[in-house]
Amino acid sequence: MDEDLLALPTRRRVYDAVRRSPGIGAREVQREANTGWGETVYHLDRLTEAHLLHRERSGHQDHYFVAAVPLGDRGLLRLTRSPSARRLLVALLETPDSTVPDLTSRTGLSAGRISVHIGRMARLGLLRTGRRDRFRTFEVGDRERVLRLLVSYRESLADEWVERLLETWSELLRT
């Protein structure tokens, strides 16, 4: 039955857009699959009902994943759909024990934007915190897992920050 569902070219394009970019939103699927809004929503609904895709709500947006994406990876992949969250995550991987002022300087993000993403990362259990003088410090708790996930989904997350990090990911895994 799953094969029959994916036999329609439009539905296959919608499915493939989600497969290539896990955590993608419906508007992004529409652009990637080159479909109209109504047909995008229709096919996303059919694929979700057939359990070929999973839909997860985060804030005001739905995120879509193919069924093969492990549950534990979905939160991190949702987070990495945001370019500023990706930039912050890379900065934390490159420089453990960073403070908000350190991260502001490294990423060019505002302290407020960093705080929002730090909160999201903390809720996902990604961070360890510490103290340096009067500042809290942050680092990615399971660096190897996060790096492996970035490598696995490199194509859909490609930007200058991720590429720079992944050029040296094997060095980071050794430390």
Looking at the structure, do residues 119 and 154 belong to the same domain, yes or no?
yes
Tokens 């759909």 -> residue = 81
Q: Is the pLDDT assigned to residue 116 strictly greater than 80? A: yes
Q: Residue 154: what residue type?
A: R
Indicate if 39 and 79 belong to the same structural domain. no
Residues 63 and 79 in one domain: no
pTM over the 0.85 mark: no
Give the whole-angstrom CA distance, residue 84 versus residue 58.
16
Range of the domain at 114: 75-174
Looking at residue 169, its pLDDT comes to 54
Phi then psi for residue 162, to 5 deg, are: -65, -45
Residue written as tokens 């399971």? 142
Averaged pLDDT for residues 66-84: 87
Average pLDDT in the chain: 86
Q: What is the CATH number of the domain that holds 12?
A: 1.10.10.10
Residue 4 pLDDT > 60, yes or no? Answer: yes
Quickly tell me which residue has 């895709």 as its tokens: 53
Read off the amino acid at residue 161: W
